[in-house]
Amino acid sequence: MINTANLQGVQNVVSQGIDFPSYLSGFFEGEGCFSVSFSRNIKYRLNWEVRPSVSASQNESRRQIVDSIQNYFGCGFIRRDLSDKTVKWECRSLNEIHSIILPHFDLYPLITTKNEDVKSLRKVVKMMSNKEHLNRAGLIAIVNIVKEMNPDGKRRIALTDILASMR
Amino acid sequence: MINTANLQGVQNVVSQGIDFPSYLSGFFEGEGCFSVSFSRNIKYRLNWEVRPSVSASQNESRRQIVDSIQNYFGCGFIRRDLSDKTVKWECRSLNEIHSIILPHFDLYPLITTKNEDVKSLRKVVKMMSNKEHLNRAGLIAIVNIVKEMNPDGKRRIALTDILASMR
């Protein structure tokens, strides 16, 4: 769960009028990304590692919001992208996404179709918590959930290739 | 001021947990743009029209947030940009920016350096309300405020050209 001491710290940097958790969801409505990627990795029995991710970027000149996200959630990491002068907060931990981040978006849900990505991520994270991504049927089910996510984004690996190259 | 009947309507589309005004400021932190543009127009005594603007864009597939912005503020207009499949809400009315939009960002301020753009817009809008943009000294002062705004953005007209071509 969210560390309320962290929340107190964040709430101190914003105006008294702002409800920071609501503000954060508004920011993620525009700038957040809820995704699942696949990485070819022969250490995994099926050849593929499944990697859930929640992230948000901002121009370097406005990194205060990125720092506030990390303070609020108390997890994830921040890295600078020198190529486009942005700063990105990202959490890739299954456990932290499950126990800290998704509960926030349960209480303060997005209002657009991006909420469908949150719901899909929630399904995948639940399956992964049950180790279903380690068996063939589970991995196929995850690929089928992920192919509906982020319809406006680009995908680096074709999902059909994953299905074809599973051991 | 914000029409509370509109606010009620918007609040109905979001979860009970969300404070919509805070959520909206969070969305504008990422996607909002507070700007002042100059348009060459010989109908104006000094050759230049000053145009304040507040806007926010989103992918067409997520236009619900854009509609909610218009419902909440009860002003501005929405237009589709077919070139990049986005939908943009924008308010260009001096009176509405002054009496409806800026009061919102007084109560629910941005937390990053983008708030400097809000403050600069507020100065320009106040000067325009006092008709100061119609005299040479006022217009020069406005140009000097605007040149500090949106440091990450592109400017189509060089501000030095405006100063040089004033009548």
Chain B, nearest residue to A60 by Cα:
B152
Per the prediction, chain A carries an average pLDDT of 88
Closest CA to A51 of A41, A42, A62: A41
Domain boundaries along the sequence of chain B: 4-165
What pLDDT is stored for residue A58 in this prediction?
Answer: 95
* Cα-to-chain-centroid distance, residue B65: 17
Provide, rounded to the nearest whole percent, the portion of chain B with pLDDT above 90.
Answer: 67
Residue A91 backbone phi and psi in degrees, to 5: -120, 125
Facing A64 at nearest CB: one of B26, B28, B112: B112
User: What mean pLDDT comes out for the span B97-118?
Assistant: 95
Beta bridge pairs of residue B29: none
Facing B111 at nearest CB: one of A59, A68, A107: A68
User: What mean pLDDT comes out for the span A137-144?
Assistant: 92
Indicate the pTM of the whole model. Answer: 0.89
Provide, rounded to the nearest whole percent, the portion of chain A with pLDDT above 70.
Answer: 87
Residue A153: partners with Cβ closer than 8 Å, 6 or more residues away: A33, A35
Residue A84: partners with Cβ closer than 8 Å, 6 or more residues away: none
- Give the residue, B5 or A36, on which the prediction is more confident: A36
Q: Rounded to an integer, what distance in angstroms lies between the CA atom of residue B66 and that of residue B87?
A: 7
Closest CA to B98 of B70, B133, B127, B56: B127
Say whether residue A148 is in contact with chain B using an 8 A CB cutoff: no
How close B162 comes to chain A (CA, Å)? 27
Banded pLDDT at A161 (limits 50, 70, 90)? confident
Looking at chain A from residue 37 to 66, which residues have their Cβ under 8 Å from any Cβ of chain B?
56, 58-59, 61-65
What pLDDT is stored for residue B42 in this prediction?
Answer: 85
What pLDDT is stored for residue B159 in this prediction?
Answer: 72
Residue A2: partners with Cβ closer than 8 Å, 6 or more residues away: A21, A72, A73, A74, A100, A103, A104
Contact B18 A109 (CB under 8 A): yes
CB pairs under 8 A between A and B: 117
Contact B112 A65 (CB under 8 A): yes
- Give the residue, B87 or A147, on which the prediction is more confident: B87
Indicate if the pLDDT at residue B166 is higher than 80. Answer: no
* B125 in Cβ contact with B97 (< 8 Å): yes
Residue B114: partners with Cβ closer than 8 Å, 6 or more residues away: A62, B28, B29, B32, B34
Closest CA to A165 of A53, A39, A37: A39
Banded pLDDT at A51 (limits 50, 70, 90)? very high
pLDDT per residue as tens digits for the range B21-71? 999 999 999 999 999 999 888 888 788 899 999 999 999 999 999 999 999
CATH value of A4-165 in 3.40.980.10, 3.40.50.300, 3.10.28.10, 3.40.640.10: 3.10.28.10
Instruction: Provide, as residue numbers in chain A, all residues whose Cβ is less than 8 Å from the Cβ of B150.
Output: none
- Could you tell me the two tokens for B163? 């100063």
- Could you tell me the two tokens for B108? 């629910």
pLDDT per residue as tens digits for the range A95-117? 999 999 999 999 999 999 999 99
Say whether residue B103 is in contact with chain A using an 8 A CB cutoff: no
Indicate if the pLDDT at residue A153 is higher than 80. Answer: no
Interior angle at CA B24, CA B39 and CA A61, nearest 5: 65
How close B5 comes to chain A (CA, Å)? 19
